[in-house]
Structure 1
């Protein structure tokens, strides 16, 4: 990784292949670490060059401020999913094409950012609904399907992929909750918005690297 100069108080995005070293002077450094399993659907980061992305970027500033506000705060599963979706959306935006603030029109960027964040929050709140999909989201936010799809493509993913990821996160939280120990995995999958248990099991294992049952056992929830 090539050295890069970062001014004090400036947020930056660092994408590394295996390991890296951070050298800094006196002062405080806030690190927001993103687990690999969270990034499987964040294609924008897969395409990002290895190294440090510098330069002022409002998305990164908001990401750091949001992360700091969550430190040490226990969150219920639904709220944790809500916050996680927002953090990942900000990260994907900063890493995506034209992610640097200087390369975007402020008015257009702000409007797209606001709409995208609004949609992410809507998905987090309604992903468990079985009738919730691309056409429903487009209608709810009064935009056509093509515009909606392009909005997510600009952030390195698709709405369908993000919706699936949100449902998987919801199911994972439910499986780890001891209060659901008496529920079948299939019931939890259905409550998270999945219609087919085989598809759910396949996607869950591909995303988290383990089966729903093994995650539940590891967390002592069943």
Structure 2
């Protein structure tokens, strides 16, 4: 996807900028003994993000600059999908992350990962901090430790890899996927007994959540659509609806903006209509707010997104 005619160095710089923007993670150091090659994709679902990267680089670093600029305090669960151990430094610890093993990082603190080879592969899942702390007692004590493969944690990463290969499933299943990933991660990290029990059965709340999400999907384009109107349409209290959405990984406002931005991006790619008409058709009533949100979400201006 990079422009033609770039030098090797220019190609790396362009990719590194995209990696930092879309992964919200950090910087890369390229391998010096092989041509630069890399592939990356990511999916955002509310406050949860899935990503994977495969390329000829030797180090991934998150410096204080990224910590300050992004203001991101989420947990980041990373799996080494390469064929060689990677050395990870975080919170004053340095661990050997074997192939298939995982580590829980905190994005408001610096870290680095290096393995001495010229090719790295990893998958990562960014998880909302408040929700995970509510589900797993003492989860912060697990940060910076090697987490052995197997069980629910590996299943969460397998699920993430599957979704990254088939992103259309996210459009169909929406925020329910974020809730499922949170459940798997929490179970693998040692969720509290009551949370683990709820994660295994879900039951009525899961059914009600699906009904709420279906209504949101059908009416997000209404300019005055609100959490109150969503609750009324679902026959539930507004507080209960907000609890359901929060437990599933993202607030009402986050979900509403995500649906509107995705729809706008789709229309910009397929339609020749005026941008302002598209913006208002998706439920936004402030063009400057839309422009800022769109660029922050997709890394492009609405004009640049035309036909892409």
Counterparts of 2:301 and 2:244, CA distance in 1: 32
Residue 100 (structure 1) shift: 3.2
**How is 1:75-154 mapped onto 2 (pairs within 5 angstroms)?**
84=171, 86-95=173-182, 99-100=186-187, 103-105=196-198, 109-154=202-247
Counterparts of 2:284 and 2:209, CA distance in 1: 24
Specify which of 175, 178, 184 is matched with residue 268 of structure 2: 175
Structure 2 gaps of 5+ residues are 1-24, 27-39, 51-72, 79-101, 103-146
Q: Which has the higher contact order (CA 8 A, sep 6+)?
A: 1
Distance 1:112 1:164, change over 3 A: same
Counterparts of 1:172 and 1:192, CA distance in 2: 10
Show the counterpart of 1:50. 77
Distance 1:199 1:121, change over 3 A: same
Counterparts of 1:96 and 1:47, CA distance in 2: 16
Counterparts of 1:98 and 1:141, CA distance in 2: 29
Alignment pair present for 1:166 and 2:259: yes
TM norm structure 2: 0.46
**More divergent stretch after superposition (116-125 vs 189-198):** 116-125
CA deviations over 1:150-171 (Å, ceiling 9, x no partner): 2122123101110111000011
Distance 1:209 1:193, change over 3 A: same
More strand by share: 2
Residue 48 (structure 1) shift: 4.1
**More divergent stretch after superposition (94-103 vs 204-213):** 94-103
Secondary structure of 1:50's partner?
Answer: strand
TM norm structure 1: 0.62
Counterparts of 2:278 and 2:260, CA distance in 1: 10
